[in-house]
Protein backbone atom coordinates (compact mmCIF):
# COMPACT_ATOMS: atom_id res chain seq x y z
CA UNK A 1 0.00 0.00 0.00
CA UNK A 2 1.52 3.37 -0.99
CA UNK A 3 1.07 6.37 1.28
CA UNK A 4 -1.05 7.97 -1.46
CA UNK A 5 -3.36 4.97 -1.48
CA UNK A 6 -3.47 5.06 2.30
CA UNK A 7 -4.54 8.72 2.23
CA UNK A 8 -7.30 8.06 -0.31
CA UNK A 9 -8.60 5.20 1.77
CA UNK A 10 -8.66 7.09 5.04
CA UNK A 11 -10.07 10.28 3.53
CA UNK A 12 -12.73 8.97 1.16
CA UNK A 13 -13.42 5.30 1.72
CA UNK A 14 -13.14 4.90 5.50
CA UNK A 15 -16.16 7.21 6.12
CA UNK A 16 -18.24 4.75 4.05
CA UNK A 17 -17.30 1.90 6.39
CA UNK A 18 -18.33 1.17 9.96
CA UNK A 19 -15.72 2.16 12.60
CA UNK A 20 -16.30 -1.13 14.45
CA UNK A 21 -17.45 -4.49 13.08
CA UNK A 22 -17.64 -5.52 10.32
CA UNK A 23 -15.30 -3.05 8.57
CA UNK A 24 -13.19 -1.66 11.45
CA UNK A 25 -12.82 1.58 9.51
CA UNK A 26 -10.88 -0.35 6.83
CA UNK A 27 -7.84 -0.54 9.12
CA UNK A 28 -7.60 -4.31 9.54
CA UNK A 29 -6.65 -7.20 7.24
CA UNK A 30 -10.27 -8.15 6.61
CA UNK A 31 -13.87 -7.55 7.65
CA UNK A 32 -15.58 -9.57 10.39
CA UNK A 33 -19.32 -10.17 10.07
CA UNK A 34 -21.55 -11.95 12.54
CA UNK A 35 -24.16 -13.46 10.19
CA UNK A 36 -27.78 -12.57 11.01
CA UNK A 37 -29.35 -15.44 12.99
CA UNK A 38 -31.21 -18.06 10.98
CA UNK A 39 -30.02 -16.70 7.66
CA UNK A 40 -28.08 -17.85 4.62
CA UNK A 41 -25.61 -15.41 3.13
CA UNK A 42 -25.69 -14.49 -0.56
CA UNK A 43 -22.57 -13.55 -2.54
CA UNK A 44 -22.23 -12.06 -5.99
CA UNK A 45 -19.40 -10.28 -7.79
CA UNK A 46 -19.33 -8.15 -10.93
CA UNK A 47 -16.57 -6.39 -12.81
CA UNK A 48 -17.11 -3.21 -14.82
CA UNK A 49 -14.53 -1.79 -17.23
CA UNK A 50 -14.49 1.78 -18.62
CA UNK A 51 -15.21 1.72 -22.34
CA UNK A 52 -17.00 -1.63 -22.03
CA UNK A 53 -19.56 -1.34 -19.24
CA UNK A 54 -19.63 2.43 -18.84
CA UNK A 55 -18.16 5.50 -20.50
CA UNK A 56 -14.94 6.76 -18.92
CA UNK A 57 -16.38 10.29 -18.84
CA UNK A 58 -19.69 9.29 -17.25
CA UNK A 59 -20.30 11.18 -13.99
CA UNK A 60 -18.29 9.38 -11.29
CA UNK A 61 -21.20 9.26 -8.85
CA UNK A 62 -23.37 7.52 -11.45
CA UNK A 63 -20.61 5.00 -12.24
CA UNK A 64 -20.41 4.19 -8.52
CA UNK A 65 -24.15 3.83 -8.11
CA UNK A 66 -24.54 1.65 -11.19
CA UNK A 67 -21.68 -0.61 -10.01
CA UNK A 68 -23.54 -1.12 -6.74
CA UNK A 69 -26.95 -1.50 -8.35
CA UNK A 70 -26.06 -4.22 -10.84
CA UNK A 71 -24.90 -6.25 -7.84
CA UNK A 72 -27.94 -5.29 -5.78
CA UNK A 73 -30.07 -6.57 -8.64
CA UNK A 74 -28.41 -9.99 -8.30
CA UNK A 75 -29.21 -9.92 -4.58
CA UNK A 76 -32.82 -8.99 -5.45
CA UNK A 77 -33.05 -12.00 -7.77
CA UNK A 78 -32.11 -14.25 -4.82
CA UNK A 79 -34.66 -12.56 -2.54
CA UNK A 80 -31.86 -11.19 -0.37
CA UNK A 81 -31.52 -8.12 1.84
CA UNK A 82 -28.21 -6.26 1.21
CA UNK A 83 -25.69 -6.22 4.08
CA UNK A 84 -22.48 -4.83 2.61
CA UNK A 85 -19.99 -4.87 -0.24
CA UNK A 86 -16.30 -4.99 -0.99
CA UNK A 87 -14.87 -2.78 -3.71
CA UNK A 88 -11.79 -3.14 -5.89
CA UNK A 89 -10.88 -0.05 -7.85
CA UNK A 90 -8.14 0.07 -10.49
CA UNK A 91 -7.26 3.66 -11.35
CA UNK A 92 -5.41 4.51 -14.55
CA UNK A 93 -1.84 5.60 -13.86
CA UNK A 94 -1.54 9.34 -14.41
CA UNK A 95 -5.31 9.83 -14.27
CA UNK A 96 -6.01 13.57 -14.08
CA UNK A 97 -8.03 15.13 -11.29
CA UNK A 98 -8.02 11.85 -9.45
CA UNK A 99 -9.07 13.29 -6.12
CA UNK A 100 -12.21 15.11 -7.31
CA UNK A 101 -13.13 11.96 -9.23
CA UNK A 102 -12.74 9.77 -6.14
CA UNK A 103 -14.66 12.29 -4.09
CA UNK A 104 -17.61 12.19 -6.52
CA UNK A 105 -17.36 8.41 -6.82
CA UNK A 106 -17.55 8.05 -3.06
CA UNK A 107 -20.43 10.52 -2.87
CA UNK A 108 -22.34 8.18 -5.21
CA UNK A 109 -21.44 5.18 -3.08
CA UNK A 110 -22.64 7.00 0.02
CA UNK A 111 -25.91 7.95 -1.62
CA UNK A 112 -26.72 4.35 -2.51
CA UNK A 113 -25.51 3.06 0.84
CA UNK A 114 -28.14 5.28 2.44
CA UNK A 115 -30.78 4.34 -0.12
CA UNK A 116 -30.30 0.58 0.21
CA UNK A 117 -29.20 0.33 3.83
CA UNK A 118 -25.79 -1.27 3.45
CA UNK A 119 -22.16 -0.26 3.85
CA UNK A 120 -18.60 -0.76 2.65
CA UNK A 121 -16.90 -3.81 4.21
CA UNK A 122 -13.48 -3.53 2.56
CA UNK A 123 -11.57 -3.68 -0.69
CA UNK A 124 -8.48 -2.66 -2.55
CA UNK A 125 -7.25 0.29 -4.63
CA UNK A 126 -4.58 -0.28 -7.27
CA UNK A 127 -3.05 1.38 -10.33
CA UNK A 128 -3.35 0.10 -13.87
CA UNK A 129 -1.93 0.97 -17.29
CA UNK A 130 -5.37 0.21 -18.68
CA UNK A 131 -8.83 1.71 -18.32
CA UNK A 132 -10.51 2.35 -15.00
CA UNK A 133 -12.04 -0.79 -13.59
CA UNK A 134 -14.39 -1.51 -10.74
CA UNK A 135 -15.25 -4.79 -9.10
CA UNK A 136 -17.96 -5.05 -6.47
CA UNK A 137 -18.63 -8.08 -4.29
CA UNK A 138 -22.09 -7.82 -2.74
CA UNK A 139 -23.15 -9.67 0.39
CA UNK A 140 -26.77 -10.14 1.39
CA UNK A 141 -28.87 -12.39 3.59
CA UNK A 142 -32.07 -14.42 3.23
CA UNK A 143 -34.05 -16.45 5.72
CA UNK A 144 -32.33 -19.86 5.74
CA UNK A 145 -33.44 -22.08 2.86
CA UNK A 146 -35.49 -19.34 1.20
CA UNK A 147 -33.06 -18.12 -1.46
CA UNK A 148 -34.82 -17.82 -4.81
CA UNK A 149 -33.41 -19.86 -7.67
CA UNK A 150 -33.44 -19.84 -11.46
CA UNK A 151 -34.31 -23.50 -11.69
CA UNK A 152 -37.73 -24.16 -10.15
CA UNK A 153 -40.18 -23.19 -12.92
CA UNK A 154 -42.92 -25.70 -13.81
CA UNK A 155 -44.75 -26.15 -17.10
CA UNK A 156 -47.81 -23.91 -17.11
CA UNK A 157 -46.38 -21.39 -14.65
CA UNK A 158 -47.09 -17.77 -15.49
CA UNK A 159 -44.13 -15.58 -16.49
CA UNK A 160 -43.90 -12.11 -14.95
CA UNK A 161 -41.62 -9.15 -15.33
CA UNK A 162 -41.27 -6.13 -13.03
CA UNK A 163 -41.20 -2.52 -14.19
CA UNK A 164 -40.77 -1.77 -17.90
CA UNK A 165 -38.27 -3.21 -20.37
CA UNK A 166 -36.05 -1.62 -22.99
CA UNK A 167 -35.71 1.79 -21.35
CA UNK A 168 -32.01 1.43 -20.57
CA UNK A 169 -31.15 0.09 -24.02
CA UNK A 170 -33.02 2.96 -25.70
CA UNK A 171 -31.44 5.42 -23.28
CA UNK A 172 -28.01 4.12 -24.26
CA UNK A 173 -28.81 4.61 -27.97
CA UNK A 174 -29.76 8.18 -27.15
CA UNK A 175 -26.56 8.69 -25.15
CA UNK A 176 -24.58 7.40 -28.13
CA UNK A 177 -26.37 9.88 -30.40
CA UNK A 178 -28.08 7.19 -32.50
CA UNK A 179 -31.51 8.37 -31.45
CA UNK A 180 -32.15 12.08 -31.39
CA UNK A 181 -34.92 13.05 -29.00
CA UNK A 182 -34.44 16.19 -27.02
CA UNK A 183 -37.44 15.85 -24.75
CA UNK A 184 -37.82 14.99 -21.09
CA UNK A 185 -38.97 11.44 -21.87
CA UNK A 186 -35.66 10.78 -23.64
CA UNK A 187 -33.76 12.05 -20.61
CA UNK A 188 -35.72 9.66 -18.41
CA UNK A 189 -34.60 6.74 -20.58
CA UNK A 190 -30.96 7.78 -20.13
CA UNK A 191 -31.51 7.86 -16.41
CA UNK A 192 -32.76 4.29 -16.54
CA UNK A 193 -29.46 3.34 -18.20
CA UNK A 194 -27.41 5.12 -15.55
CA UNK A 195 -29.46 4.16 -12.55
CA UNK A 196 -31.16 0.79 -12.70
CA UNK A 197 -33.65 0.18 -9.91
CA UNK A 198 -32.81 -3.08 -8.13
CA UNK A 199 -36.13 -4.69 -7.16
CA UNK A 200 -35.05 -5.69 -3.68
CA UNK A 201 -38.41 -5.36 -1.94
CA UNK A 202 -40.15 -7.35 -4.65
CA UNK A 203 -37.49 -10.09 -4.65
CA UNK A 204 -37.61 -10.29 -0.89
CA UNK A 205 -41.38 -10.82 -1.03
CA UNK A 206 -41.32 -13.49 -3.74
CA UNK A 207 -40.21 -16.28 -1.38
CA UNK A 208 -42.98 -18.87 -1.34
CA UNK A 209 -44.62 -17.24 -4.38
CA UNK A 210 -42.16 -17.42 -7.27
CA UNK A 211 -40.94 -20.78 -8.57
CA UNK A 212 -37.92 -19.31 -10.42
CA UNK A 213 -36.36 -15.83 -10.56
CA UNK A 214 -33.59 -14.13 -12.54
CA UNK A 215 -32.71 -10.48 -13.02
CA UNK A 216 -32.68 -9.25 -16.60
CA UNK A 217 -29.20 -7.98 -17.33
CA UNK A 218 -28.65 -9.37 -20.84
CA UNK A 219 -32.15 -8.79 -22.21
CA UNK A 220 -35.42 -10.67 -21.80
CA UNK A 221 -34.68 -13.11 -24.65
CA UNK A 222 -31.33 -14.17 -23.19
CA UNK A 223 -32.41 -14.33 -19.57
CA UNK A 224 -35.64 -16.25 -20.14
CA UNK A 225 -33.37 -18.78 -21.86
CA UNK A 226 -31.36 -19.21 -18.63
CA UNK A 227 -34.59 -19.83 -16.70
CA UNK A 228 -35.76 -22.33 -19.34
CA UNK A 229 -32.40 -24.14 -19.51
CA UNK A 230 -32.21 -24.55 -15.75
CA UNK A 231 -35.85 -25.58 -15.40
CA UNK A 232 -35.76 -27.93 -18.41
CA UNK A 233 -38.67 -26.11 -20.07
CA UNK A 234 -39.57 -23.65 -22.82
CA UNK A 235 -41.47 -20.35 -22.72
CA UNK A 236 -44.17 -18.59 -24.70
CA UNK A 237 -44.27 -14.82 -24.29
CA UNK A 238 -46.67 -12.41 -25.99
CA UNK A 239 -44.73 -9.41 -27.28
CA UNK A 240 -47.75 -7.10 -26.92
CA UNK A 241 -47.83 -7.83 -23.17
CA UNK A 242 -44.20 -6.76 -22.53
CA UNK A 243 -44.52 -3.59 -20.44
CA UNK A 244 -43.13 -0.39 -21.96
CA UNK A 245 -42.68 2.98 -20.33
CA UNK A 246 -44.51 5.94 -21.84
CA UNK A 247 -41.14 7.28 -23.02
CA UNK A 248 -40.14 4.02 -24.70
CA UNK A 249 -43.55 3.68 -26.37
CA UNK A 250 -43.35 7.21 -27.76
CA UNK A 251 -39.79 6.77 -28.96
CA UNK A 252 -40.51 3.44 -30.68
CA UNK A 253 -43.43 5.06 -32.51
CA UNK A 254 -40.86 7.35 -34.16
CA UNK A 255 -38.04 4.76 -34.41
CA UNK A 256 -39.76 1.37 -34.95
CA UNK A 257 -36.48 -0.22 -36.09
CA UNK A 258 -35.37 -0.31 -32.45
CA UNK A 259 -38.33 -2.42 -31.31
CA UNK A 260 -36.29 -5.59 -30.76
CA UNK A 261 -34.18 -3.74 -28.16
CA UNK A 262 -37.11 -4.31 -25.82
CA UNK A 263 -36.20 -8.00 -25.51
CA UNK A 264 -32.54 -8.00 -26.57
CA UNK A 265 -31.23 -4.70 -25.24
CA UNK A 266 -30.23 -5.62 -21.73
CA UNK A 267 -29.32 -3.41 -18.78
CA UNK A 268 -32.94 -3.54 -17.56
CA UNK A 269 -32.19 -5.01 -14.11
CA UNK A 270 -35.83 -5.91 -13.71
CA UNK A 271 -36.91 -9.22 -12.18
CA UNK A 272 -38.17 -11.96 -14.49
CA UNK A 273 -39.96 -14.69 -12.58
CA UNK A 274 -42.39 -17.56 -12.79
CA UNK A 275 -45.25 -18.49 -10.46
CA UNK A 276 -48.21 -20.86 -10.45
CA UNK A 277 -51.65 -19.61 -11.46
CA UNK A 278 -52.95 -19.64 -7.85
CA UNK A 279 -50.45 -16.86 -7.04
CA UNK A 280 -52.04 -14.28 -9.35
CA UNK A 281 -53.85 -12.54 -6.51
CA UNK A 282 -50.76 -12.46 -4.30
CA UNK A 283 -48.75 -10.92 -7.11
CA UNK A 284 -51.42 -8.32 -7.83
CA UNK A 285 -51.28 -7.44 -4.13
CA UNK A 286 -47.47 -7.06 -4.23
CA UNK A 287 -47.75 -4.79 -7.27
CA UNK A 288 -50.19 -2.55 -5.40
CA UNK A 289 -47.89 -2.50 -2.41
CA UNK A 290 -44.74 -1.55 -4.34
CA UNK A 291 -46.26 0.94 -6.77
CA UNK A 292 -44.60 -0.33 -9.96
CA UNK A 293 -45.99 -2.70 -12.58
CA UNK A 294 -45.53 -6.45 -12.29
CA UNK A 295 -46.82 -7.79 -15.59
CA UNK A 296 -47.79 -11.28 -16.68
CA UNK A 297 -46.26 -11.72 -20.15
CA UNK A 298 -46.60 -15.44 -20.89
CA UNK A 299 -46.20 -18.95 -19.53
CA UNK A 300 -43.72 -21.82 -19.32
CA UNK A 301 -44.12 -24.72 -21.73
CA UNK A 302 -43.12 -28.38 -21.82
CA UNK A 303 -41.82 -27.91 -25.36
CA UNK A 304 -38.24 -26.70 -24.96
CA UNK A 305 -38.48 -23.71 -27.28
CA UNK A 306 -38.65 -20.00 -26.60
CA UNK A 307 -41.21 -17.90 -28.40
CA UNK A 308 -41.82 -14.18 -28.21
CA UNK A 309 -44.95 -14.03 -30.37
CA UNK A 310 -46.34 -11.00 -32.19
CA UNK A 311 -50.09 -10.48 -32.68
CA UNK A 312 -50.13 -12.90 -35.62
CA UNK A 313 -48.37 -15.63 -33.67
CA UNK A 314 -45.05 -15.16 -35.51
CA UNK A 315 -41.99 -15.77 -33.32
CA UNK A 316 -40.05 -12.51 -33.19
CA UNK A 317 -36.92 -14.41 -32.18
CA UNK A 318 -36.92 -16.23 -35.55
CA UNK A 319 -36.22 -19.88 -35.95
CA UNK A 320 -32.55 -19.76 -35.08
CA UNK A 321 -32.99 -18.50 -31.55
CA UNK A 322 -36.56 -19.45 -30.81
CA UNK A 323 -36.38 -23.09 -31.69
CA UNK A 324 -32.88 -23.94 -30.55
CA UNK A 325 -33.32 -27.22 -28.76
CA UNK A 326 -31.09 -27.73 -25.76
Region of residue 208 (left: phi > 0; alpha: psi -120 to 50; beta: else): left
Sole binder of a copy of itself in the list 9, 12, 44, 299 (CB under 8 A): 44
CA distance 37 to 267: 34
Assess contact for 199 and 162: CB atoms under 8 A.
yes
* Contacts to a copy of itself from residues 135-164, by CB under 8 A: 135, 137-140, 142, 144, 147, 149-151
**Which one-letter DSSP state was computed for residue 94?**
T
Span from 76-84, 234-242, 282-290, 317-325 in contact with a copy of itself (CB under 8 A) = 76-84
| Minimum CB distance to a copy of itself smaller for 217 or for 245 | 217
| Minimum CB distance to a copy of itself smaller for 230 or for 244 | 230
State yes or no: residue 304 binds a copy of itself (CB under 8 A): no
Assess contact for 67 and 136: CB atoms under 8 A.
yes
Sole binder of a copy of itself in the list 14, 15, 18, 48 (CB under 8 A): 48
* Contacts to a copy of itself from residues 240-299, by CB under 8 A: none
Sheet of 210-215: strand order equals 210-215, 271-275, 158-162, 294-301, 234-238, 306-309
State yes or no: residue 221 binds a copy of itself (CB under 8 A): no
CA distance 125 to 101: 14
CB of 299 to a copy of itself, least distance (A): 22
State yes or no: residue 74 binds a copy of itself (CB under 8 A): yes
Sole binder of a copy of itself in the list 16, 64, 86, 170 (CB under 8 A): 86
Assess contact for 215 and 77: CB atoms under 8 A.
yes
Measured between alpha carbons, how far is residue 37 from residues 5, 24, 44 in Å?
36, 21, 21
Alpha-carbon torsion (66, 46, 304, 320), positive or negative: positive
CA distance 108 to 110: 5
DSSP lists the bridge partners of residue 124 as 88
Binding mask 107-136 for a copy of itself (x = CB under 8 A): --------------xxxxxxxxxxx-x-x-
State yes or no: residue 320 binds a copy of itself (CB under 8 A): no
| Minimum CB distance to a copy of itself smaller for 134 or for 237 | 134
| Minimum CB distance to a copy of itself smaller for 229 or for 236 | 229
CB of 184 to a copy of itself, least distance (A): 33
CA distance 206 to 143: 12
Binding site for a copy of itself (CB under 8 A): 1, 22, 24, 27-35, 39-49, 51-53, 74-75, 77-78, 80, 86-90, 121-131, 133, 135, 137-140, 142, 144, 147, 149-151, 213-215, 217-218, 222, 226, 230
Amino acid sequence: MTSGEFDLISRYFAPLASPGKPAYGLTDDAAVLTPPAGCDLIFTKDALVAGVHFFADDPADKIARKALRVNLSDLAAMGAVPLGYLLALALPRGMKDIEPWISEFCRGLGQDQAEFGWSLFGGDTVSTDGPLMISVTAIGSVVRGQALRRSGARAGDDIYVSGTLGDAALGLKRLMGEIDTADEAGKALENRYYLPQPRLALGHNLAGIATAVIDISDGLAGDIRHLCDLSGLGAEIKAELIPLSAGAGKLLASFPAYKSLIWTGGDDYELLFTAGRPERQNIARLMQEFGFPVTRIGHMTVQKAIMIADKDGINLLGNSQGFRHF
